[in-house]
Structure 1
Amino acid sequence: MSQIQINRHIDQINRYLDHAVLKPELTHTEAIDAIKLGVEYKVRTVCVRPCDIELALDLCAGSETDVCCVLGFPHGVLPAVLKAEEAKHYVTLGVKEIDMVVNYSYIRSALWKEVEEDIQAVHAITSPAGVVLKVILETSMLTLDQITQATTSAQRVGADFVKTSTGFNGPGATEEAVTAMLEAAQGKIKVKASGGVRDTQKALRFIAMGCQRLGVNYTSTAAICDGITEESTSTPTHEY
């Protein structure tokens, strides 16, 4: 990546960020402060717990930041019919994007028909509504071959993105996993790296690889946008 490209990406890095406000222990006040921080930095979305959707919609109103929520989070083991009902509720509330956890036990079992049915149940709700759908694979639980096939399955169904991780299970995004996703995607589905992205250098690396979105914990947004390196950041409780 040239210095000109690096400077441009640093200037625009906030628009790659899904600012995650997902820790289950967050108080109402902490959630408000975290969402407001994302709005202040003009991130692409704040990605919130389902219980905070309406709060986030209110706080983001009139801003450049959209509201994203998670679905089937963090394990992905709800039946597809219940994931569809979740999606209907969130779309009705007004979210612009949904990050669903696919049932990755199906991926590990090579039950590809079931994998695609799981994604399709949600896609059938999001697509007509114009809501962006990202499919979380939980790559730390998968082999590279499984990541490749799962990316192909998500693309075949019509999802907008595949996403590495919930940020709550394993090491999060790795270059090996992201490379496998990008190679399988072939430009037909976008890739989001999430989990363990805490500083500008790592964020720029994933952008240079071809990721079009980054999932970052709300505690890392300022560091990434302000150009702080990993050495000067502390280790968070969660990987996300």
Structure 2
Amino acid sequence: MNVNELTAETLAGMIDQTLLKPDATLEQLRKHCEGAAKYHFKTVAINNAPVPFCKKILEGTGVLCDAAVSFPLGQCTIETKVFETIDVIEKGAGEVDYVVNLVELKSGNWDYVEEEMRRIVEACRERGITSKVIFENCYLTDDEKKKLCEVALRVKPVFIKTSTGFGTHGATVDDVRLMKSCVGDKLLIKAAGGIRTAEQALAMIEAGASRIGTSRGIEIVEGFKSMQNTREKQ
């Protein structure tokens, strides 16, 4: 995407505003949702339990609940992940991000990785819900990232995603470029983890990301507006 064509409104619509802290209170979640609605973000990315609570607050705003499945380690059975996916959709999730089983991936069990992806993506697709596969690139070699992209091209989730934000590092421009080079325009890419500024977000978008996962969505949009104002004055 040409970042020069972005507006504050279109940028906001590319943001999954994230609150995944294990000790977040309901009041914090309420304020999080209210902020997301004010800025017209695409989703609030949250853990599963508060989905009904957040969905009620967001009713009529156009902002979706984006539920994190098997988060952040991905170490649940396929059956558990599928159940969790269906359960959270029934409770109000409009999008689902799930973490791949890195133990199976790192052990070379690609048939397992593909079956897991297929069953979760199908559960989402059958219910009209956007699916995102979290690679957790910080633990993967470039060859593993490429092979996982090949699996995703066969299964066809809506998005492939760089990171949980809970690993050793989050999104990098190089990883987004690599993923984009593998999937082209056949799949969308979500960059997440450690994206805190407008400059970082724009770099990810320029590299090929169509969605930004961040807890700093408001700061990013306001920073983008400041950049625009500076350019207009020059």
Matched residue pairs, number? 225
The separation in 2 between residues aligned to 1:67 and 1:38, in whole angstroms, is 11
Alignment of 1:58-207 (within 5 A): 58-207=56-205
Q: Alpha-carbon deviation of 1:140? A: 0.4
The separation in 2 between residues aligned to 1:53 and 1:125, in whole angstroms, is 18
1:227 to 219, 223, 229: 223
Summarize deviations over 1:2-49 as a string: whole Å, max 9, x none. 7xx425244421011001111111112111111211111110011111
**Quick check: 1:69–1:95 contact (8 Å CA) kept in 2?**
yes
Q: Residue 15 of structure 1 corresponds to which residue in structure 2?
A: 13
- Three-state SS of the structure 2 residue aligned to 1:122 is helix
The separation in 1 between residues aligned to 2:69 and 2:113, in whole angstroms, is 15
Range 32-41 or range 188-197, more displaced: 32-41
Q: Residue 232 of structure 1 corresponds to which residue in structure 2?
A: none
2:208 to 207, 210, 215: 210
TM-score calculated relative to the size of structure 1: 0.89
Calculate the aligned-residue CA RMSD, in Å: 1.6
**Quick check: 1:9–1:204 contact (8 Å CA) kept in 2?**
no
Structure 2 unpaired stretches of 5+: 226-234
One-letter amino acid matched to 2:210: Q
**Quick check: 1:21–1:35 contact (8 Å CA) kept in 2?**
no
* Identity %, equivalent residues: 28
- Three-state SS of the structure 2 residue aligned to 1:126 is helix
The separation in 2 between residues aligned to 1:11 and 1:61, in whole angstroms, is 20
- Three-state SS of the structure 2 residue aligned to 1:168 is coil
Q: Alpha-carbon deviation of 1:124? A: 2.2
**Quick check: 1:165–1:195 contact (8 Å CA) kept in 2?**
yes
One-letter amino acid matched to 1:170: T
Q: CA separation of 1:61/1:67 partners in 2, compared to 1, >3 Å: closer, same or farther?
A: same
Q: Residue 42 of structure 2 corresponds to which residue in structure 1?
A: 44
**Quick check: 1:164–1:178 contact (8 Å CA) kept in 2?**
yes
- Three-state SS of the structure 2 residue aligned to 1:191 is strand
The separation in 2 between residues aligned to 1:137 and 1:72, in whole angstroms, is 13
- Three-state SS of the structure 1 residue aligned to 2:108 is coil
Summarize deviations over 1:93-117 as a string: whole Å, max 9, x none. 2211000011122222221111111
The separation in 2 between residues aligned to 1:141 and 1:9, in whole angstroms, is 34
Summarize deviations over 1:152-211 as a string: whole Å, max 9, x none. 212211211110111011110011211111111121111100001111111111111121
- Three-state SS of the structure 2 residue aligned to 1:87 is helix
The separation in 2 between residues aligned to 1:221 and 1:87, in whole angstroms, is 25
- Three-state SS of the structure 1 residue aligned to 2:53 is helix
The separation in 1 between residues aligned to 2:122 and 2:6, in whole angstroms, is 36
Q: Alpha-carbon deviation of 1:133? A: 0.4
- Three-state SS of the structure 1 residue aligned to 2:13 is helix
